[in-house]
Amino acid sequence: MIDPFFPLSCRESDGPDVSASHLTAQGFDRVFSANLARLTAGISPAGLASVYVEWLTHLLLSPGKQIELGVKHARKHAKLLRYLTHYTLNAETPPCIDPLPQDYRFKNPAWQQWPYVWFYQAFLLQQQWWHNATTDIKGLSPASERVVSFIARQALDRWSPSNVPWLNPEVTRKTAATGGRNLFEGWRNFVEDAERLALGKPPVGAEQFRIGEQVAVTPGKVVFRNALIELIQYTPETDEVHPEPILIVPAWIMKYYILDLSAENSLVRYLVQQGHTVFMISWRNPQTQDRDLGMLDYLQQGPLAALDVITDIVPDTRVHATGYCLGGTLLAIAAAYLAREGDDRLASMTTFATQVDFSEAGELMLFIGESEVAYLEDMMWDQGYLDGYQMAGAFQILRSNDLVWSRIVHDYLLGERQPMNDLMAWNADLTRMPYRMHSEYLRQLFLNNDLASGRYEMGGRPVVIHDIRVPLFAVGTVKDHVAPWRSVYKIHLLAGSDEVTFLLTSGGHNAGIVSEPGHPRRSYRMRTHRNSDTYLDPEAWEAETPVSEGSWWPAWQRWLAEHSSSKTAPPSLGSAKHARICDAPGTYVLNS
């Protein structure tokens, strides 16, 4: 690697400036951007400034829009005044504006009492006005409109009356009832959290869920290890199993054991109990020295290496490959590559909350532009990786009301600790992303959408999703803010499979997948599309597909069974070539 600060001899050239001073200037800029990125949570100030200027310029050049906003502002003031007048005469008067269905900040009945009802009604009207002010502006690009609307919403949420102690009736009443003890407890919670964050410790309560003891407890053996993965083969629990094993490829943005949490909500354990042989990839958490690991390394040392091992342990049979989130995207690339090469070792492919077309990737796209990607690259270049805390911050911003402000109110203003559960403990077990891999992922997949466009290459030739012909099963979740289900649904337009089964389940990106039988308030829709069927757009699919109550796991398991052969005796754990290395969950998952 060339050190940008190392003086190089200069030569005359008509090409790009490669002088020592130019490289030194570039290096200085990268160091400056990297340090600034740490202060701005990885959000590019230049990107935000350019969007703000674009919005403000178009708004200033739209006098009709300005007049409309002025009229709306006056009407909302009049509407609020009229409501407060009626409320004074009758406290049962319905609110003049209701929160959005997903907004739970003002559900407590105390918000309907004076003066709090005025605080939150005025806030909601203001929020509605700002939505009008940042949308439907002639000449403003849709991408910029989404960004500026998102920024306005974040700024408003920061100053919501629910976040201000003296404007929140739940806080004021508890403060009066406890003599301020809630604020004292909240301060202690804040100090404890700050100390843990500074020392790199997990949040309070996470220590109750130790890997291999309370979570990741399904018995098995590590049967293969390379520089990037450990491959776990789980111990059978039935006398007979379906011959076709299941290979699960989790995302390396997370620890694998979200699919093997506590015994009662472990997808791995459920599959083993249903008579399936299950293999799981456990990714190693990269360090600074792994900065040059790329997507090709993850592909070759991940699913392709695991597939070689499985076909040695369970020879002469095909594999049900399953990928979750980014692991599903990698699996789709691997499946397209295998199809291109005429390799028929896959029996089927299942994806959980996985995108292969990133043209409509939801609010994450707000952070994926040239300015933002270059900013993140500078930060990763300096560290050698993207830190888990930096990555988690972006996800939290997308759901700041649920993940940030509600927690601040609950833990610090009300002084009450939210009980830790296994999913929350797993979510705090953060991982890193190597510089080169994440840069390639952001540019080739998110920014350029190369995979869906047929431009993504392996071995100098494109890999194309349309080449995938095995039966497909794709799972989307209703509240997914990482992989919106309509984006996941695009697999219908890309895959060449004769059979594509799409399942839409309740919940979000993580909780919707961890949906064990017996979990309350779970439901799903499922429909299979065949080549002879007419395409249904997502809205028509949702309207025409009936709802089934309960967990989606049994429906997927039945689908796997239908695409498997008759049961036989379980295979051995490992083989002569791939001996057992250690007990599950292995060692890589323990790396912090």
Look at residue 63 and tell me whether its pLDDT is greater than 70: yes
Averaged pLDDT, 538-545: 96
DSSP 510: T
Residues 234 and 114 in one domain: no
**Contact status, residue 464 vs residue 336, Cβ threshold 8 Å:** yes
Averaged pLDDT, 524-547: 95
Per the listing, tokens 């996800």 go with 395
Residues 142 and 232 in one domain: no
Residues 486 and 353 in one domain: yes
Averaged pLDDT, 250-254: 92
Look at residue 29 and tell me whether its pLDDT is greater than 70: no
pLDDT at 183: 94
| Residue 205: inside a domain | no
The answer to whether 325 is a known catalytic residue is: yes
Residues 341 and 432 in one domain: yes
Look at residue 555 and tell me whether its pLDDT is greater than 50: yes
Averaged pLDDT, 111-121: 92
Of the residues 149, 184, 205, the one at which a domain ends: 149
Averaged pLDDT, 270-291: 96
| Residue 328: inside a domain | yes
| Residue 345: inside a domain | yes
| Residue 185: inside a domain | no
| Residue 265: inside a domain | yes
Look at residue 172 and tell me whether its pLDDT is greater than 70: yes
Residue that wins the pLDDT comparison between 520 and 525? 525
Measuring CA to CA, which residue among 50, 62, 157 is closest to residue 404?
157
Averaged pLDDT, 141-150: 85
pLDDT at 454: 92
Distance of CA 78 to the CA centre of its chain: 42
Give the pLDDT band of residue 261 (cuts 50, 70, 90). very high
Hey, is 163 helix, strand or coil? helix
Averaged pLDDT, 520-526: 94
Look at residue 392 and tell me whether its pLDDT is greater than 80: no
What domain count does the chain have?
2
Averaged pLDDT, 558-568: 96
Look at residue 403 and tell me whether its pLDDT is greater than 70: no
Residues 276 and 136 in one domain: no
Residues 463 and 349 in one domain: yes
Hey, is 385 helix, strand or coil? strand
Measuring CA to CA, which residue among 241, 244, 242, 246 is closest to residue 260?
246
**Residue 461: CB atoms within 10 Å:** 10
**Contact status, residue 260 vs residue 585, Cβ threshold 8 Å:** yes
pTM of the model: 0.88
Residue 211 has φ and ψ, to the nearest 5°, of -65, 130
Give the pLDDT band of residue 375 (cuts 50, 70, 90). low
Give the pLDDT band of residue 7 (cuts 50, 70, 90). very low
| Residue 37: inside a domain | no
Cα 318 to Cα 563: distance, rounded to the nearest angstrom: 11
Give the pLDDT band of residue 400 (cuts 50, 70, 90). low
Summarize pLDDT for 417-475 with one digit per residue, the tens: 988 999 989 988 889 889 899 889 888 998 899 999 999 998 889 999 999 999 999 99
**Residue 159: CB atoms within 10 Å:** 12
β-partners of residue 548 are 524
Give the pLDDT band of residue 30 (cuts 50, 70, 90). low
Look at residue 394 and tell me whether its pLDDT is greater than 90: no
Of the residues 149, 177, 196, the one at which a domain ends: 149
> Which token pair is 269?
């354990």
Q: Residue 242's domain is classified under what CATH number?
A: 3.40.50.1820
pLDDT at 12: 36
Domain with 436, as residue range(s), is 220-384+426-590
Strands (E), 158-274: 220-225, 229-234, 246-249
Residue 221 has φ and ψ, to the nearest 5°, of -130, 145
Residues 235 and 103 in one domain: no
Summarize pLDDT for 193-225 with one digit per residue, the tens: 999 888 878 889 888 999 999 999 999 999 999
Residues 125 and 233 in one domain: no
| Residue 437: inside a domain | yes
Residues 347 and 496 in one domain: yes
**Residue 543: CB atoms within 10 Å:** 9
Candidates 10, 96, 325, 582; catalytic one: 325
Choose the weakest-confidence range: 101-105, 227-231, 258-262, 279-283: 101-105
pLDDT at 389: 67
Residues 115 and 257 in one domain: no
Cα 20 to Cα 4: distance, rounded to the nearest angstrom: 8
| Residue 296: inside a domain | yes
Residues 95 and 225 in one domain: no
What's the mean per-residue pLDDT of the chain?
A: 88
Choose the weakest-confidence range: 315-319, 375-379, 461-465, 507-511: 375-379
Of the residues 104, 128, 149, the one at which a domain ends: 149
pLDDT at 492: 95
Cα 433 to Cα 251: distance, rounded to the nearest angstrom: 11
Residues 236 and 327 in one domain: yes
Averaged pLDDT, 11-19: 41
**Contact status, residue 426 vs residue 258, Cβ threshold 8 Å:** yes
Summarize pLDDT for 90-114 with one digit per residue, the tens: 888 888 999 888 888 899 999 999 9
Averaged pLDDT, 324-338: 96
Look at residue 16 and tell me whether its pLDDT is greater than 50: no
Look at residue 350 and tell me whether its pLDDT is greater than 90: yes
Give the pLDDT band of residue 5 (cuts 50, 70, 90). very low
Using only C-alpha atoms, the chain has a radius of gyration, in whole angstroms, of 26
